[in-house]
């Protein structure tokens, strides 16, 4: 039984965000990113306590915010240019502190779309130019000191593609982003997440990407791994021009969203290749 099924067993009138919901609904978000609605009526004290165990109320704000809240779930929506999604997980805070947090983020990232999902969850969408992530982490540390709000971020950069796919992956990984580090590339967390799963779950998560890799691409990746991501040495070993190798790696990034020349993405790709060979 998945999270929504458990909610449905307690609240039979619950509606999943993907359904064509009509009527006056209050929306909520579970810790793993599932959005659901309940008819807008007063819940009993017991029901409120049960609901608080599973979910946080979605912020019902202006139409622009509601549009982007829905877009994050829209499987048909694609960016045709580079974008970065940053998913922020916040500790519970007073309304005034939360508003200060949001204002600071907006000042630091004036060109980003700031999507307020709940008082514990904010999504940031950037299109070029991107802010410096080290500076962003410094801002989060300053906010923790000044506003007393601890926040951690999971981020992914893509040359193009589905926003909903990246969003879903982030919701899966956000519970793992709670160490001293403030910002985590999604590929770093996914690497550790896969190691904790059984073979069936690993295959389910990695099969879509592995289907994009033909044998020659896998052999190219394995050569790159053997040569510690050194493009020049890999090209020489493959009797390939360095520019040709970089072109193929660029194409791989466009197809999968992972850049095999970077440490965390390469580590994840290497793990996926090894898992599929062993399974």
Question: What are the extents of the domains in the chain?
Answer: 3-57, 63-193, 197-278
Q: Is the separation of the CB atoms in 231 and 262 below 8 Å? A: no
Secondary structure element (H or E) that encloses residue 260, with its range: none
Note down pLDDT in tens along the chain; length 279 residues: 677 788 888 888 888 776 755 557 777 877 776 778 888 676 777 777 777 777 777 776 678 888 898 899 888 999 999 999 999 998 877 778 888 999 999 999 999 999 998 888 999 999 988 999 999 999 999 988 888 888 999 999 999 999 999 999 998 898 888 776 789 999 999 999 999 988 888 888 899 899 999 999 999 999 999 999 999 999 999 999 999 999 999 999 999 999 999 999 999 999 999 988 876
- What is the token pair recorded at 182? 């403030």
Secondary structure element (H or E) that encloses residue 272, with its range: helix 263-278
pTM for this one? 0.82
Phi, psi of 85 (to 5 degrees): -110, 130
Three-state DSSP class for 175?
helix
Q: Which CATH superfamily is domain 63-193 in?
A: Reverse transcriptase/Diguanylate cyclase domain (3.30.70.270)
- What is the token pair recorded at 197? 């799963």
CATH pick for 197-278 out of 1.10.10.2840, 1.20.210.10, 3.40.30.10, 2.30.33.40: 1.10.10.2840
Exposure class string for 35-72: b at 16+ Cβ within 10 A, else e: bbbbeeeeeeeeeeeebeebbbebbeeeeebeebbebb
Neighbours of 263 (CB within 10 A): 12
């Amino acid at each position: 039984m998945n999270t929504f099924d458990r909610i449905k067993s307690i609240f039979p009138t619950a509606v999943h965000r993907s359904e064509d919901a009509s009527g006056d609904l209050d929306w909520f978000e579970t810790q793993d990113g599932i959005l659901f609605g309940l008819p807008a009526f007063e819940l009993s004290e017991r029901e409120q306590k049960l609901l608080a165990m599973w979910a946080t109320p979605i912020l019902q704000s202006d139409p622009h915010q509601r549009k982007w809240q829905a877009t994050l779930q829209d499987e048909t929506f694609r960016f045709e240019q580079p974008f970065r999604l940053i998913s922020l997980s916040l500790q519970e805070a007073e309304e005034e502190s939360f508003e200060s947090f949001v204002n600071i983020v907006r000042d630091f990232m004036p060109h980003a779309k700031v999507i307020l999902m709940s008082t514990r969850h904010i999504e940031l969408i950037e299109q070029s130019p991107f802010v410096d992530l080290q500076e962003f982490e410094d801002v989060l540390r300053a906010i923790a000191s000044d506003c007393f709000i601890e926040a951690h971020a999971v981020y992914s950069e893509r040359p193009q593609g589905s926003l909903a796919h990246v969003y879903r992956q982030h919701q899966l990984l956000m519970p793992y982003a709670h160490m001293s580090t403030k910002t985590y590339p999604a590929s770093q967390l996914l690497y550790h997440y896969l190691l904790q799963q059984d073979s069936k779950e690993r295959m389910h998560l990695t099969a879509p990407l592995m289907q994009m890799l033909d044998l020659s691409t896998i052999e190219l990746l394995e050569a790159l791994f053997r040569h510690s991501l050194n493009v020049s040495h890999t090209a020489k070993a493959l009797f390939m021009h360095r520019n040709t190798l970089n072109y193929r790696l660029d194409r791989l990034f466009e197809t999968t969203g992972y850049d095999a020349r970077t440490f965390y993405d390469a580590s994840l790709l290497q793990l996926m290749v090894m898992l599929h060979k062993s399974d």
